[in-house]
Every structure is written in C-alpha cells, then in structure tokens.
Amino acid sequence: MKLLYLGTAAAEAIPALFCECEACQKARSLGRAGIRGRAGSLVDGVLKIDFGPDSYRQMLDNGLSYAKIHSLLITHTHEDHLAVDEVALRRQVTAHIHTEPKLMTVYGNAAVGEKLRGKTGEMLAFSEIKPFVSYDIEGYTVTPLDAVHCCTAEGSDFPVICRGKLYHRSENALIFLIEKDGKRLLYAHDTDELTTEDLSFLRGKHLDLVSLDCTNGVLRSTWTGHMGADRDKLTRQALRDFGAADEKTIFVANHFSHNGFPGEEELQRELPGFLISHDGMEIEF
C-alpha cells in the first residue's frame, strides 16, 4: 500500500492565510518546501481521503486526475476536510468525464450527507458509513472508528470517552482503518487520543502505518479534540500496549498548525521515531 500526503496542515494552512508569526515567516522563507496545504491524502491512487480547499492545487502539484477517482472518504465536515462546493463540481457542464465508471461515491457520516444534499447526481453519490462496521470499497476493507473531535459542551449525541471523561460531538467524526493484502493503515485525523473502544477494536491487529494528528505540535495539549507531540507518544504507547503496533510500525505525525510548529527539525526532536509529514510525501509499506 502507498499513502501519498497531498496536504499536511490544519484549517489555516502553513503559512497561514493572514499570518505574520515567526513560524509562518520561516515557512515562507523556505519556499515550496515550507508550504503545507489543508489536509488530504490518497491511498494507492485509488482512495481519496478528505477534500479540502487546497484539493485543486494538490491535484496539479501531484499530476493527478480526480476524474479517475471513484471513492472519497470524508473524516468529518470541517471546512479544511470537506470543501463541499468543490466536490459538487463533479456534475454536468463543469465535468466531462470520459473514463468509466463516471461515478464517485463520497463515504462519510450523516453530517457529510447533509452537506451533500441536493448536490449529488449521475457522477456523484453519497453513502453513509458508521463506526465499527467494515465496508468493501474497491477491494479495500475500510472500517471507520470513532474520532474524538467535533466535541461540544452541550447535547447528548455521539458520546465518546477520552482520558476517562465523557464528551459529546456535534457529528460522528471518523478515523479510518484501511486494510488490503495483509497490510493495515490507521489514518487518524482529526482526533485526540484513541478511545478504549477504538483500541479494543484494533487489539492484536498489526498496523503497518499509523498517521496521527499533530495539530498542537510542540505545545502542551490542554484541550480536547486534537493531539500534539505529547499525545502522539501516548497514542503510540497505547497501540503498542494493545498489540496493534510494534517496532516495525511506521508512525507519522501529520496535520500541523503554525501554532506549535517551530519547524521540521525542532518537531522531530520531540517525536523520536516518528516521520514528520510534508506535502507530497509518499510512504510505501
């Protein structure tokens, strides 16, 4: 399996749209190497994960054709992961698709379906997926798990327990376990430390690549919904404790914010043994 990182930043990107902070100045000075677009990935050129506002540019930068993509997995509806009007351009007049099949199916939670309401058609479909159910998508076994994200103080929907505390979520945000030919990828963006249910589901399933949310970077994580270097290391240990990871498992830190991202080398010091993602990075495992 191959995972291509198209975009590796959080909602505001690096350098951030309206920012003059030190991290953003440094990123600008590095030119292309310092630029991180909004998060999105591609598995084997087949499964597209998330479709944020930089998807167009990422298609050009990587020589891709989204016309040939038939499966789009969406983690949650935050703007940096689902630019819904861009996805909806897969319709008559704006898209002339000659390769068969023409249909692309968007897989996501009910909130994703809500956003796509009235926008689907002959070339664009929606299919709701639920956590802890496995789906066969183009020969891959895709199992959504619960993300600890979109947490709200109010409401009673989509409860999750993180670090022993109960949270509610405005939608059932998802992370993905993707399996094929005996290889396993855990794609965990955006999320906090994994729930006990997630870990129990993964127990004994050897993961080859684990991509972990690192929005907080080198900052101490004090709020719920994302991770930084501190929680990434705890998550790696938890996966090892549950027999889902060992010394052969590749761990990647991904989805960075200019807050807490002092630069690749500095972050690497906080995360020994992790790869630090950048736009265009491809990992074969």
Q: Considering beta carbons, is residue 50 or 270 the nearer one to Zn ion?
A: 50
Tokens 């598995």 sit at which residue? 43
**Which listed residue (3, 6, 24, 83) binds Zn ion by CB under 5 A?**
24
**Judged by CB under 5 A, which stretch of 7-15, 122-130, 163-171, 202-210 contacts Zn ion?**
7-15
CB 44 within 8 A of CB 1: yes
Tokens (6 digits) for 126 = 């929606």
Residue 19 binds Zn ion, judged by CB under 5 A = yes
192 sits near Zn ion (criterion: CB under 5 A) = no
Residue with tokens 């591609």: 42
SS3 148: coil
Nearest distance from C-beta of residue 6 to Zn ion, angstroms: 13
Q: 3-state class of 285 per DSSP?
A: coil
CA 175 to each of CA 9, 68, 131, 132, 147: distance values in angstroms, whole numbers, following the listed order: 17, 24, 9, 10, 5
CB of 215 to Zn ion, least distance (A): 7
HEC letters along 16-42: CCCCCCHHHHHHHHCHHHHCECECEEE
Beta carbon of residue 198, minimum distance to Zn ion (angstroms, whole number): 17
- Position 161 contacts Zn ion (CB under 5 A): no
18 or 63, CB closer to Zn ion?
18
Interface with Zn ion (CB under 5 A), residue from 90, 169, 258, 278: 258
Residue 8 or 71 with smaller CB distance to Zn ion: 8
21 contributes a contact to Zn ion by CB under 5 A: yes
Residue among 176, 99, 180, 183 nearest 138 (CA): 180
* Residue 136 Cβ vs Zn ion, minimum distance, rounded to whole Å: 27
**Residue corresponding to tokens 């351009």:** 89
**Cβ proximity to Zn ion, 71 vs 257, nearer residue:** 257
Rule CB under 5 A: say whether 30 interacts with Zn ion.
Answer: no
Nearer to Zn ion, 80 or 193 (CB): 80
Q: Which stretch binds Zn ion (CB under 5 A): 4-12, 29-37, 89-97, 138-146?
A: 4-12
Strand residues in the chain grouped as ranges (E): 2-7, 40-43, 47-49, 71-73, 104-108, 124-128, 135-137, 140-146, 151-152, 160-162, 165-169, 174-180, 183-188, 209-213, 250-254, 274-276, 282-284
Contacting residue, 190, 192, 198, 279, with Zn ion by CB under 5 A = 190
Q: Which CB sits closer to Zn ion, 129 or 174?
A: 174
* Closer residue to Zn ion (CB): 39 or 271: 39
Terminal CA-to-CA distance of the chain, rounded, Å?
6
CB of 139 to Zn ion, least distance (A): 28
* Site for Zn ion, residues 42 to 81, rule: CB under 5 A: 78, 80
Rule CB under 5 A: which residues touch Zn ion? 10, 16, 19, 21, 24, 78, 80, 190, 258
